[in-house]
Structure 1
Amino acid sequence: MSIEASIDHLRPAAAAPAVPVNQLLTAPILPTLLRLAIPNTIAMFGSTLVAVAETSYIGRLGTEPLAGIALVFPFAMLTQMMSAGAMGGGVSSAISRAIGAGERDRAADLALHAAIIGAGAGLFFTVLMLTFGRDFYALLGGRGGVLEQSMHYSQVLFSGAVSIWLVNTLASVVRGTGDMRIPSMTLIAVSLVQIAVGGVLGLGLFGVPSFGMRGVAAGQLTAFTLGAVFLAWYLVSGRSRLTLDFKAFSFQRAMFLDILKVGAISCLSPLQSVLTILIFTKILAGFGTETLAGYGMGSRLEFLLIPIAFAVGVASVPMVGMAVGAGLAARARKVAWTAGTVAGLVVGLVGLIVALKPTLWIALFTSDPGVTAAASSYFALAGPGFGFFGVGVCLYFSSQGAAKVGGPVLAGTIRLLVVGIGGWWLATVSAPAWTLFALVGGAMVAFGLATIVSIRLTRWG
């Protein structure tokens, strides 16, 4: 044996290949955040197209349907926001923290518990809205034809609330693993199906009978049912980053609590947002159908700004959650501040654009002078506060990743109190509608600043 061979024989064997490093724990924050946010942004663009198309369809059906959808819209968005942003954030947070701590089996068990929560919550919304929907809309000022149009849409939509909850819950499961592509592709497909089916059935295109508001709602019901079926198949098929083992599954109280300790508290935030809208809807109902329809158009864009902040905020959830699970609290905070800055700049830009040129949005739906005037006043006075709103919403999602949502929820309470108390006082003194619109903008600023302060004062990790 040669000397070189003898030396090689005496050398220690090469070390086994290291386990791949989790890129969400080591990669540069801003590029990684943007890479994860881009698929979400594309999916949220699909949601925006749905809102534009659906409002356009309803606008063609008449002023009463347009006012009727303003009554239903807060409840429809509450369903979406609770399932996708609140409870969905709790799902993604629990799964990402488990993965960050190296507990992938626990993450898979959490996914199955999340599906149970989603199905149960969907059934709750179905029973609630089919039983009390008419009473809710009447309390908001719905009367006569406007109330009937709202019921036509509501009855069809909420009969399939389980599908909405399951799509958003299962998408949150996948997002918790750091995979934003599959959920985004699914939601884009859901949006396209909703636009196509809702338009055909609502307006009676291609020789199909027109079902009016029922047909528009049927488009959403059909699309989300198909989306839920696909995501369930994807998770069961073994193609996802989690391996779901139904045979080993057992109900575990701790699993439910891990999700609910974030998700249940987070549900207060969209509830507060919807209550804010409902208070103004109730007050403005006394100003007439045109003002109500104009405000509904404005509040619809406000709700659509949430998906923009959602796209960035949800991208930050697995980054924050995995960092917290791995004990990297400083990195988790840096991710949150970076995400909040990005969302604030983007949403703030949208707010400034519609404040300066409100017809860019309004003209898509109506040419009615009264509706246009009301919506223009809303955008001019509330639009400058949209940036603060974007920061607050994004940081709310980031705080879910850290399982520390108390502060952002409290900030939402402050916003609700500003709107509730201020709106009540302005109504008692018979103030004009524009003062209420200004109050909306001020409440957004208060919400954003309070969220920033709360996260600075809360210990993560």
Structure 2
Amino acid sequence: MSDIAEVPVDEQERPLPSPPQPEKSALTDGPILRTLLSLAWPNVIGLSAGTCVVIAETSYIGRLGVESLAAMALVFPCVILMMTMSGGAMGGAVASAIARALGAGDRERAGTLAAHALLIGISFGLVFMVGMLVFGPRLLELLGGRGNVLTQAIAYTQVFFGGAVLPWLLNTMAGVLRGTGNMKLPSLLMLNSAVWQILLGGTLGLGLGPVPQFGMRGVAAGALMAYTANIGVMSWYLFSGRARVVPKLRGLRIQWAMFFDILKVGAIACFSPLQSVLTISIFTHMLAKFGTAILAGYGVGARLEFLLTSIAFSFGIACVPMVGMAIGAGCVARARRIAWIAGVTAFVAVGAPACLVAIFPDLWVNIFTDNVAVRAASHQYLSTVGPFYAFFGLATTMYFSSQGAAKVIGPVLAQTARLIYSAACGWWLSTHDATAQSFFWLAASSMVMLGLLSCFSVVLTRWGPRGSTAVIRPALSTGD
């Protein structure tokens, strides 16, 4: 009698389930540069609109008085930190996870990832809300807030961070859409949000028409109202089935592997904006000893950096779904080509206007001031640092490309190296009575260092699997 167990005929003839097949699209198969540019231009418009909001808010907050301007300057680093964490770091991680699942042809997984991403966004928003409401006043006091400036800063914090879940949820949804390759809707909503933030924030803050003046609380409330409207539009689009991915909330079973797939990128990536804010704070603190004119001149240059960051981020965000889908489809070589093409493109796109301003600084400085001392300091800063902003664009695309590949630790460590370098060299310059020009050169060299180290991290990091194992399906047999 044969010792081989008999297999029912219907099971022998039942076909084995085929693995998901990579989806064909321009992101996985199209020409790289053309696809990159088509994804990047909507981001340029959307992120530039965010820059306009900062300029507009500075304008109408200035009408509330000098103390209100100082209060906004006090709160601004905390706001920027949360927005870059939710949009760039965690939002990029969400886009990466979605893109890798779609690249592998697994829409079921992409929908489950989207649902878990929303839970992550809500959780992080609650953490920021509780943290800033409980510890925010003390933090603002440690940052130098006093008197009425501190009071107004706390008022803004209580409203804006009281609704911290809203920007986190909005940026998470945008990350889901960007992971599918849809850059236009998130960018259009960013533009829409910018318009409503300016209108509502100005109306509520200044008390235009029949609306009473709410001051800093009104400015914060205007931003939250704009976010709420956009969340409604994005929710309708996602859950109506119009997107390539529909978050699977009904009957959702929590899967820790899904959380890990997002957080293994996002949690590490969050250290990048944190370190960036610390680096800027260190430079600001070191330059403050040279007086108001030098500090104001640096501030004018920093505004240019904010604008150029929008361009760099536009190409970086476009990298995430392209690299992620290539990795998901097993096309590691294409993923690396995308990273390098994007890096060169951002290097030129950021470097060209920066060099133009370095050669003709009045093109930028005339927008902000006519003070002779401030203009001289601005000219000095821009002519020194301007030509090296291109390396910042290069570093940004390496960071986002690494997010797409789920290998982000290298660029984050590059930011760590820049932070340590800036702090150590800044301390040495401070103890040797260096001039402001020396600190400007330190800022320039730190950008070069960041760009080169970010590139080296991509070169040295393995993006593909460590080894490929052939999948062998068992053959059914009826005898020895």
Equivalent pair of 1:199/1:216 in contact (CA under 8 Å): yes
Shift of 1:363: 4.2
Shift of 1:399: 0.9
Q: Which moved more, 1:136-145 or 1:438-447?
A: 136-145
5 Å-filtered alignment, 1:358-369, equals 358-367=361-370
- Residue matched to 2:167: 164
Q: Output the CA distance in 1 between the equivalents of 2:164 and 2:365.
A: 29
Shift of 1:311: 1.0
Q: Output the CA distance in 2 between the equivalents of 1:77 and 1:418.
A: 23
Q: Which moved more, 1:368-377 or 1:78-87?
A: 368-377
Shift of 1:167: 0.9
What are the Cα deviations for residues 257-276 of structure 1, in whole angstroms up to 9, with x where unaligned?
Answer: 00001111111111110111
Q: Output the CA distance in 1 between the equivalents of 2:92 and 2:209.
A: 40
Equivalent pair of 1:140/1:282 in contact (CA under 8 Å): no
Correspondence for 1:298 among 297, 301, 304:
301
SS state of the match for residue 179, structure 1? Answer: coil
Equivalent pair of 2:114/2:246 in contact (CA under 8 Å): no
Correspondence for 1:238 among 233, 238, 241:
241
Correspondence for 2:311 among 277, 291, 308:
308
- Residue matched to 2:326: 323
Shift of 1:430: 4.3
TM-score (norm 1): 0.89
What are the Cα deviations for residues 196-220 of structure 1, in whole angstroms up to 9, with x where unaligned?
Answer: 1122223333353333333333322
Q: Output the CA distance in 1 between the equivalents of 2:363 and 2:73.
A: 20
Cα–Cα, structure 1 residues 382 and 150, in superposed 2: closer, same or farther, change >3 Å?
farther
Q: Output the CA distance in 2 between the equivalents of 1:163 and 1:53.
A: 21
Q: Output the CA distance in 1 between the equivalents of 2:60 and 2:152.
A: 13
- Residue matched to 2:429: 426
- Residue matched to 1:11: none
Q: Does 1:24 align with 2:27?
A: yes
Shift of 1:77: 1.2
- Residue matched to 1:437: 440
Q: Which moved more, 1:32-41 or 1:371-380?
A: 371-380
Q: Structure 1 counterpart of 2:129, which letter? A: T
- Residue matched to 1:83: 86
Q: Which moved more, 1:236-245 or 1:372-381?
A: 372-381
- Residue matched to 2:184: 181
- Residue matched to 1:127: 130
Q: Output the CA distance in 1 between the equivalents of 2:190 and 2:308.
A: 17
What are the Cα deviations for residues 218-238 of structure 1, in whole angstroms up to 9, with x where unaligned?
Answer: 322221222223222221222
- Residue matched to 1:197: 200
Shift of 1:456: 1.3
Equivalent pair of 2:96/2:405 in contact (CA under 8 Å): yes
Shift of 1:177: 0.9
Q: Higher helix proportion, which one?
A: 1
Cα–Cα, structure 1 residues 368 and 210, in superposed 2: closer, same or farther, change >3 Å?
farther
Correspondence for 2:69 among 60, 66, 71:
66
Q: Structure 1 counterpart of 2:233, which letter? A: F
Q: Output the CA distance in 2 between the equivalents of 1:287 and 1:205.
A: 40
Equivalent pair of 1:381/1:441 in contact (CA under 8 Å): yes
Q: Does 1:209 align with 2:212?
A: yes
Shift of 1:173: 0.3
Shift of 1:105: 0.3
Q: Structure 2 counterpart of 1:390, which letter? A: G
Extract unaligned runs of 5+ from structure 1. Answer: 1-17
What are the Cα deviations for residues 136-164 of structure 1, in whole angstroms up to 9, with x where unaligned?
Answer: 33333344454444334333322221111
TM-score (norm 2): 0.86
Equivalent pair of 1:389/1:445 in contact (CA under 8 Å): yes
Q: Output the CA distance in 1 between the equivalents of 2:385 and 2:146.
A: 28
Q: Structure 2 counterpart of 1:389, which letter? A: F
Cα–Cα, structure 1 residues 423 and 218, in superposed 2: closer, same or farther, change >3 Å?
farther
Q: Does 1:380 align with 2:383?
A: yes
5 Å-filtered alignment, 1:105-124, equals 105-124=108-127
How well do the aligned residues superpose, as a CA RMSD in angstroms? 2.4
- Residue matched to 2:38: 35
Q: Output the CA distance in 1 between the equivalents of 2:141 and 2:54.
A: 24
Correspondence for 1:98 among 97, 101, 117:
101
SS state of the match for residue 209, structure 2? Answer: helix
Q: Structure 1 counterpart of 2:458, which letter? A: I
Equivalent pair of 1:33/1:312 in contact (CA under 8 Å): yes
Equivalent pair of 1:67/1:289 in contact (CA under 8 Å): no
- Residue matched to 1:342: 345
Equivalent pair of 1:201/1:215 in contact (CA under 8 Å): yes
Q: Does 1:228 align with 2:228?
A: no
How many residues are matched?
444
Identity over aligned pairs, percent: 55
Q: Output the CA distance in 1 between the equivalents of 2:211 and 2:243.
A: 39
Q: Output the CA distance in 1 between the equivalents of 2:375 and 2:400.
A: 34
SS state of the match for residue 238, structure 1? Answer: coil
Q: Which moved more, 1:103-112 or 1:272-281?
A: 272-281
Cα–Cα, structure 1 residues 438 and 154, in superposed 2: closer, same or farther, change >3 Å?
farther
Structure (1 or 2) with the larger CA radius of gyration: 2
